[in-house]
Amino acid sequence: MPRVVRARKEGRYWKARLCFGLLHVSASGRILSTMGIVDRIKEIEEEMARTQKNKATEHHLGALKARLAKLRSELLLETGSKGPGGAGSGFEVARSGDGRVALIGFPSVGKSSLLNTLTDTESQAAAYEFTTLTCIPGNIIYNDTKIQLLDLPGIIEGAAHGKGRGKEVIAVARSSDLVLMVLDGGKEQVNNHRAILERELETVGLRLNKKPPNIYFRKKKDGGVKFNSTVPLTQLGPDPALTVGRILYEYKIHNCEMLLREDVSTDQVIDVIEGNRKYVRCLYAYNKIDTITIEDVDRLAREPDAIVISVRHKLNLERLLERMWDYMGLIRVYTKRRGAPPEFREPLVMSSERRGVNVEVACENISRELSEIFNYALVWGRSTKYDPQRCGLQHTLEDEDVVQVVGKTVTQQKREKGYSKKVQEHWDALKAKKKKAALRS
């Protein structure tokens, strides 16, 4: 910094910025303002810090936040070329199994050691920082389910803006079903580290352990801004319409419909407008509890979404797997044919995060044509009152349910007009087969 200051004094400011790599120059010599965005972000952050937070300033703060969010998206697009989580943004590891868990954390907190303990894969673990330099996948079989665990390089403050391999690491976090944030429980500032990592992930649009806000939003061609709410709004200042209007103005959105169905904050309104937020579950694993007192272990265990472990002494790892499974929101459904036992070795594994899993989703998972010939399903398990229960496509399934699909009879199908060609072919083939068998006998 002092060198920059000196350079500025000597009137060589721009040159200094160039040689410090703060400016990017295109082939034609045009100055691209990558750093300009970072500067502008800083400026807005400073202005926000200066602005007193009270009811009268809510709309102004909302506008500043919108400007900030816009700049951050711009920055991501500019430097990440493909945007957050886009293909080609670094570690190309094929998705496999029923769910994906990313190990995120500072260097040397024990991510690789954990992968080595939970899977058959070997990832180098050592006492120096940045031992791991790329993404290393391993497999865990738990509850008949294959979970892909990804070891990643450590990240540090500033990762979101490209420090180290932060961007690539965060892109992997975005693509996963669960973030397992590994923290060094032996460090005094462990919760400070937690806050830093949370902030890094939040800046690039990840939302940890949060639900998408219940807001209906649609851009339109004309008609102006139609703003409404079904609940009292307490977080948008004295005039919510004004606050939201200011935010929309920042995005140059002059025609849209917005209906707030819950008491949301300005940040949540911005999230919905930006539209590229990723809502992902996060479990915080405080590792190395072998190095601290039992009182400290107890304190850490009470943090929200926390679990305390020691990889070195294999403490609490069984419980960790259990919690991971819960957080991933997966459910297993066993299918069954008439007169045969359920296929207990091969469940259908589906994510119930977004919406509940119903019979229709299960059918889609088995085969495309199944829902076309679907008549009803017989279901055994937690979701039913009697075993078996006759259920329709909308029946919500629970973990470990058994499902037997009963198809429509040929006559039933014939009675229904307009069924697909595929189904017709299927039944024709079946009929031909039956005829052949009858002829043979």
Ligand X SMILES: Nc1nc2c(ncn2[C@@H]2O[C@H](COP(=O)(O)OP(=O)(O)OP(=O)(O)O)[C@@H](O)[C@H]2O)c(=O)[nH]1
Where on the chain is the footprint of ligand X (CB under 6 A)?
A: 105, 107-113, 125-127, 129-132, 153-154, 287-288, 290-291, 310-312
CA 51 to chain centre: 32
**Containing H/E element for 136?**
strand 136-142
Is 132 a binding residue for Mg ion by CB under 5 A? The answer is yes
DSSP-assigned letters across all residues of 319-379: HHHHHHHHHHTEEEEEE--TTS---TTS-EEEE-SSS--BHHHHHHHH-TTHHHHEEEEEE
* Rounded least distance, CB 404 to ligand X, Å: 46
Residue sitting closest to K ion (CB): 131
CA gap 388, 96 in Å, rounded: 33
In the complex with ligand X, which residue's Cβ is closer, 203 or 310? 310
- Per CB under 5 A, the list member of 37, 75, 106, 108 interacting with K ion is 108
Q: How far is the CB of 146 from K ion (least distance, A)?
A: 27
Half-sphere exposure of 422 (CA within 13 A, CB side): 7
Closest contact distance (angstroms) between CB of 131 and K ion is: 4
Q: How many residues bind Mg ion, per CB under 5 A?
A: 4
Q: Which is nearer to ligand X, 280 or 309 (CB)?
A: 309
Would you say 91 or 376 has its CB closer to K ion?
A: 91
CA dist., res. 245 & res. 253, Å (int): 9
Using omega within 30 degrees of 0 as the cis cutoff, is the peptide bond preceding 347 cis?
no
Comparison of 124 and 424: residue with beta carbon closer to ligand X: 124
- Part in contact with K ion (CB under 5 A); list of ranges 125-133, 316-324, 343-351, 355-363: 125-133
CA angle 181, 183, 188 (to 5 degrees): 150
Residue at token pair 């500067």: 39
How many residues interact with K ion (rule CB under 5 A)? 2
Q: Which two tokens stand for residue 319?
A: 């419980």
C-alpha separations of 14 from 19, 26, 179, 424 in Å: 9, 15, 41, 73
User: And the tokens for 260?
Assistant: 């707030």
Tokens of 103: 């190990």
Cβ at position 209, least distance to ligand X in Å: 22
Scan residues 219-238 and list those touching Mg ion (CB under 5 A): none
* Closer CB to ligand X, 153 or 213, in the complex: 153
CB of 320 to ligand X, least distance (A): 12
Among 131, 191, 365, 371, which residue interacts with K ion (rule: CB under 5 A)? 131
User: Does the protein bind Mg ion through residue 112 (CB under 5 A)?
Assistant: yes
DSSP 212-263: PP-EEEEE-SSS-EEEEESS---SS-S-HHHHHHHHHHHTT--SEEEEE-S-
- 119 contributes a contact to Mg ion by CB under 5 A: no
Instruction: Give the separation between CA 4 and CA 140, rounded to whole angstroms.
Output: 51
| Binding residues for Mg ion restricted to 33-62, rule: CB under 5 A | none
Question: With binding defined as CB under 5 A, does residue 186 bind K ion?
Answer: no
Residue 203's binding partner among ligand X, Mg ion, K ion, none (Cβ under 5 to 8 angstroms by kind) is: none
In angstroms, give the least distance from the CB of 122 to ligand X.
11
Q: How far is the CB of 132 from K ion (least distance, A)?
A: 7
113 binding Mg ion? (CB under 5 A): no
Note whether 108 binds Mg ion by CB under 5 A.
Answer: no
When asked if residue 312 is in the footprint of K ion (CB under 5 A), the reply is no
Residue type, 246: R
- Rounded CA separation 360/314 (Å): 41
User: Would you say 291 or 375 has its CB closer to ligand X?
Assistant: 291
Nearer to K ion, 108 or 175 (CB): 108
Q: What angle separates helix 58-80 from helix 166-174, to the nearest 10 degrees?
A: 110
Q: Least separation, in Å, of the C-beta of 103 and ligand X?
A: 8
Min CB(195)–Mg ion separation in Å: 22
Which is closer to ligand X, CB of 290 or CB of 353? Answer: 290
Q: How far is the CB of 229 from ligand X (least distance, A)?
A: 45
Q: How far is CA 141 from the centre of its chain?
A: 22
Q: Given the rule CB under 5 A, which residues bind K ion?
A: 108, 131
Q: Given the rule CB under 5 A, which residues bind Mg ion?
A: 111-112, 131-132
